[in-house]
Structure 1
Amino acid sequence: MKKSLLALAALGAFAGVAHAQSSVTLYGIVDVGINMNTNAGGFHKYDMSSGVLQGSRFGLRGTEDLGGGLKALFVLENGFDLTNGKLGQGGLMFGRQAYVGLSSNFGTVTLGRQYDSVVDYVGPFESGDQWGGYIAAHPGDIDNFNNAYRTNNTIKYTSANYSGLTFGGTYSFGGTAGDFSHNQIWSLGAGYNNGPLALGVGYLNARTPAASGGLFNNGGTIATNTPATGTTAASFAVTTPIYAGFASANTYQVIGAGGAYTFGAATIGLTYSNIQFGNLGKTFASPFAGQKATFNNGEINFKYQLTPALLVGAAYDYTRGEQIEGNSRAQYHQGALGVDYFLSKRTDVYLVGVYQHALGDTVNTAGQVVAATAAINGLTGSTTNNQFTARVGIRHKF
């Protein structure tokens, strides 16, 4: 009897050790609010929507200590619409993230559906990733700073932290037999965060982004999940008019940089991005076959922690297109203001307003040069060159 009790005690002790060496955490965010849009396809619109300040989600993350400084880890993260219970990211079960990997003192390697380096190292400096939500992202989230698109079939490396310096990269297999570059995506980035100064740079390159399974067509937030199978631009799934006319490109490329400096309760930030849609007409027919469209974007933002519970923010963003080799030039001026009040560490209420003004002309999905119209990210576009939206919402983290 004593031997049995001793054996049970020993097993219990080992079970406790094993439990201490591994963990699984359930986490999530629920975000919902009421919106007003002054011009949604020509009409005023009032509605309720989910996941503007941060995408509504729940997820599981876990680690296991394998010994010798080596750990196994995984993340499974679902996105959903709080207003109706539907899955997000085109109906994918774990459309936000889904990966597994190994971590050591030399860095972390993960495999699955993941964020690219522009999102990781530059995105956090944009106002939309801080207090403005996706409506304050750059027009059409054209540079993916706000994580409109994620990468499938991805191998990712993230370095250890070397006195504030981190770096990494991703590579996504296209998976097309006989065409190694089809749907291929790769990115590189680096960041520095030490004291009041933070900096980040990133590069993203995606081949045939509008093809079935490409970057724009794998469950993005501003595209449907319907493959672009037609031979004209009208078959393309991206809904934003900012760059839908250039979706036939063979290559989508982003070069981005950002920085922020904190002094006391205030932080000022800057971002810059250069975006190119190269070799138009590759994915489907375009009257501008072989040409390219280029955009440049710059943002300055400011936030101030008035009290431990009250944050205010302001931002101005400018986007300029040098499109189809100078035959059209669109400009977008955008301003955003936000107030965020924390009722507790996990629950806050917020108010965000965004105004956008468009100038010049652009290319529509039929390949025609037309007057540019305002199109705040994630919303139904305006029929004029002006659009204003305001949102009041509540967010809870668990």
Structure 2
Amino acid sequence: MIAVAATGLTAGAFAQSNVTIYGSMDAGVAYINNIGGNSAVRLDQGTMQPDRIGFRGVEDLGGGLKANFQLETGFFVDTGAMTNAGRLFNRASTVGLSGNFGAVTLGNMPDIVFDYAGKLSNGFQLTNFYLFHPGNLDTLANTYQFNNAIRYTSPTFSGLTVSGMVGLGEVAGDSGRGRNVSAGANYVQGPLRLALAYSKQNDRPAGFAGTFLGSLGLGNGGTVFDSLTTIAAGAGYAIGNVRMHALYTQSKIELPTISPTQKNVDIGTSWRYTPANALNVGYSHSRLEGARYNQISVGNAYSLSKRTEIYAQAAYQRAGGTARFAIQNNTGVSSSDSQLVTTVGVHHSF
């Protein structure tokens, strides 16, 4: 009888909840003309959208109050491996409450620079992972989430939403060590979108940014930043079948002996010239002290259905100033001041 009663309670709980399983799988054949002096052909994953699977749920508690959760993990479709072998849900693991007061979310989640401003970047708008900035110092590629995070998001007033969050460092006797903070505002009204965001991460491993800094003689793959502070501002506008966007980000690295600053500008447009075809064109300029990087990109996505599309993309970067080597996001360092990446692939969402 106890078992039957427990089963009934469980079924009732599920009946009151709305749980969604979602995900994305993307693979393409990429040609890179120069990695360390040699060309490469490889099967790339997540170029158009990151490979991921997730679970999202909402329960109506009554009186306008809702409980919600999200679990999301990233993986590599070409090998089946997780993007972070030490974390099952490496992209998001959150639980929270929402209502007329806004929303409070607890757990592991991306910062507000990615959530608000990142969605106006070339990498996001033009659906090409290689278009995120060298070293991904501004975290627009969503490769660094905040652990132990608490986020508050306001209700939306006349299109305006504001958010603030803190990732607790949880180091006894040193509350600043490993602590992350972020804040931002997002405005959406009709065809117009505006975003402003701030983020500061303490004691963050450099990761791929270490390779980037190493190409400039400023660091190596083992670098840990004392702090990394990013500000971002962007805008987007749609006119008929044409969507335009622009974004500015600035990231300052604090290391024991140097404090370089990277500045990035993106502009781009997406034109859906037929119901099935979208043409994406973009330009970005990145500067880190005396190093300069200019990148142009073009791509076309063809929708086979609402969930499946095939695509062809190309991104070309030219380094200048004190930068001797081109290095597009996640490609590897070129042996010259230029680098070309072309990709043809298929993307499916569910």
TM-score scaled to structure 2, two decimals? 0.92
Which residue of structure 2 aligns with residue 198 of structure 1?
Answer: 193
**Amino acid of the residue matched to residue 121 of structure 1?**
Y
1:81 aligns with 2:76: yes
Q: 2:246 aligns with which of 270, 280, 286?
A: 270
Taking a change above 3 Å as real, the CA distance of residues 18 and 94 of structure 1, as seen in their structure-2 partners, is closer
Separation (CA, whole Å) in 1 of partners of 2:48 and 2:217: 25
1:336 aligns with 2:297: yes
Contact kept, 8 Å, 2:126 with 2:268, in 1: the verdict is no
**Amino acid of the residue matched to residue 149 of structure 2?**
T
Shift of 1:73: 0.8
Which residue of structure 2 aligns with residue 240 of structure 1?
Answer: 212
Compare 141-150 and 166-175 and name the one that shifted more: 141-150
Separation (CA, whole Å) in 1 of partners of 2:103 and 2:224: 35
Return structure 1 stretches of 4+ with deviation > 4 angstroms.
Answer: 14-20
Which residue of structure 1 aligns with residue 34 of structure 2?
Answer: 39
Query: Size of the alignment, in residue pairs?
Result: 341
**Amino acid of the residue matched to residue 24 of structure 1?**
V
Contact kept, 8 Å, 2:230 with 2:252, in 1: the verdict is yes
Which residue of structure 2 aligns with residue 373 of structure 1?
Answer: 325
Compare 191-200 and 142-151 and name the one that shifted more: 142-151
Taking a change above 3 Å as real, the CA distance of residues 92 and 176 of structure 1, as seen in their structure-2 partners, is same
**Amino acid of the residue matched to residue 136 of structure 1?**
L
Query: Counterpart of 1:245 in 2: which secondary structure?
Result: coil
Separation (CA, whole Å) in 2 of partners of 1:28 and 1:348: 15
User: What pairs with 1:101-250 in structure 2 (closer than 5 Å)?
Assistant: 101-210=96-205, 216=206, 222=208, 238-241=210-213, 245=218, 247-250=223-226
**Amino acid of the residue matched to residue 182 of structure 2?**
S
Contact kept, 8 Å, 2:49 with 2:127, in 1: the verdict is no
User: What pairs with 1:239-388 in structure 2 (closer than 5 Å)?
Assistant: 239-241=211-213, 245=218, 247-278=223-254, 280-281=255-256, 289=257, 291-322=258-289, 329-361=290-322, 371-388=323-340
Residues 18-56 of structure 1, C-alpha deviations (whole Å, 9 max, x = no match) = 544312111111111100000112110000021111111
Report the structure, 1 or 2, having the larger strand content.
2
Separation (CA, whole Å) in 1 of partners of 2:50 and 2:42: 17
Separation (CA, whole Å) in 2 of partners of 1:51 and 1:243: 27
Contact kept, 8 Å, 2:116 with 2:197, in 1: the verdict is yes
Query: Counterpart of 1:271 in 2: which secondary structure?
Result: strand
Larger radius of gyration: 1
Separation (CA, whole Å) in 2 of partners of 1:124 and 1:90: 27
Q: 1:60 aligns with which of 49, 55, 59?
A: 55
Shift of 1:301: 0.6
Separation (CA, whole Å) in 1 of partners of 2:19 and 2:302: 31
Query: Counterpart of 1:240 in 2: which secondary structure?
Result: helix
Shift of 1:360: 2.2
Q: 2:66 aligns with which of 54, 63, 71?
A: 71
Contact kept, 8 Å, 2:23 with 2:349, in 1: the verdict is yes
TM-score scaled to structure 1, two decimals? 0.81
Structure 1: give runs of 5+ residues left out of the alignment: 1-10, 211-215, 224-237, 282-288, 323-328, 362-370
Contact kept, 8 Å, 1:34 with 1:46, in 2: the verdict is yes
Contact kept, 8 Å, 1:240 with 1:377, in 2: the verdict is no
Residues 274-329 of structure 1, C-alpha deviations (whole Å, 9 max, x = no match) = 11113x21xxxxxxx2x41112111111111111211011111011122xxxxxx1
